[in-house]
Amino acid sequence: MAAERTRVLGLMAFGLMLSMTTWFSTAAVLAQLRDRWELSTNEASVLIIVLQVGFVAGALVSAVGGLADRMRLRHLVAIAALGAAAANALVIVADGYAAAVVLRFLTGAFLAGVYPPALKLVATWFREGRGAAMGLMIAALTIGSAAPHLVNGFGGVGWRTVMVATSLATVAGAAIVAVAGVEGPYPFPRTGFRLSEAARVVRERPVVLATAGYVGHMWELYAMWAWIGVFLVDLVDRTDSGLNPSFLAFAAIAIGGIGSIAAGLWGDRVGKRRSAMLAMVSSGTAAAVVGWSALPLWLVVGIVMVWGATVVADSAQFSAIVSERASQAYVGTALTLQLAVGFLLTVTTIWLVPMVRDSLGWWAALAMLAPGPWLGALALRALQPPPTPATGATTGPAVAPATG
């Protein structure tokens, strides 16, 4: 079974990586779209924010409708990935801001049927070593999210090429999952969302603290991913270094894959809580200093890479903590609430970063993100360790996404 488990994990990670390339497709070419459609700062932000809102809407519909329980997980992931690919490609046909906003909302809604069920499917293969497996899946998600910057980094590539390439990659990811996404021998009980249980969830101190940590993590993560490319464009222009900002942006996001794997392995050894706290303190510190204009270029690039490696490294740990600490009767509700609150919060910071940048500069805009992970680490510190050492086995339902 070990060989089969490894094969499924590898193929699912590859399929997820390809499927998630549509997430930041428009963010990677935002400068081109802003010029083509004559967008204001607010309109450009909405083009990114609306996908986050669509993701929350899709996740709630999926949870309330129990889609992950009603369908085979690989079929759900494959169908949702095809929907995301279609919505992403139609932006080219529409070639207009208003239609693009609607299509990006739909892309986010479809992606809610991709990586949460994909992580759940992989978790059915693992009792021990689940932290490392989830770390690999988050790494795949991270590299896939960075991929549009890689495509855009090649000189002369237009925004349509980026949109086509990411849609084709997502179709390929859907095909891989449809064929390889066999569920494992450790299925999980039905744990859907029930509004009537929400009041019970918020009265459980461990769940509240873990969710507070996740909220702090999300305050920073997607704003960093959304705007790091623009920051690097401005940095390269200001220093006249000749570096390719799109390649730098790809590296800054993709390096989070290494951080996710490392955090997953370390979390299995020393505990998810400690692993997440270290990542949050590190990423918050990087956010606080990376925008200082007095720093030399080489140091800024180095801090950006540290930031990228740590900003997502804690993602897989939060939902695992909730799945272990929440009352098992309504852990599904707890996980859904955690995801919804976290992703809705990203709307605020994605909108705020360019507004603060225009008023106070990049240092203030990026340093504004630092309190989130710092306060999140404090919340996890207040969370008492589990009564038995973490071994990589989890007792709750499958790990839902925490990216994150």
What is the set of domains in the chain, with CATH numbers?
Answer: 1-182 (1.20.1250.20), 197-386 (1.20.1250.20)
Confidence check: pLDDT of 46 > 60: yes
pTM higher than 0.85 for the full model? Answer: yes
Mean pLDDT, to the nearest integer, of 296-306?
Answer: 96
Q: Could you tell me which of 193, 191, 172, 53 has the C-alpha nearest to residue 123?
A: 191
Confidence check: pLDDT of 291 > 90: yes
The SS3 of residue 194 is coil
Cα 207 to Cα 304: distance, rounded to the nearest angstrom: 32
Model confidence pLDDT, tens digit, residues 360-380? 999 999 999 999 999 999 999
CB 353 within 8 A of CB 234: no
Confidence check: pLDDT of 393 > 70: no
Cα 316 to Cα 272: distance, rounded to the nearest angstrom: 9
CB 295 within 8 A of CB 357: no
The SS3 of residue 367 is helix
First to last CA, the chain: 29
Q: Show the DSSP H helices in 66-123 as ranges.
A: 67-70, 73-94, 97-111, 115-123
Calculate Rg over the CA atoms of the chain: 20
- As a whole-number percent, the residues of the chain with pLDDT over 70 amount to 88
| pLDDT the model gives residue 210 | 84
Cα 22 to Cα 128: distance, rounded to the nearest angstrom: 32
In eight-state DSSP terms, residue 196 is G
Looking up tokens 């973490």 gives 390
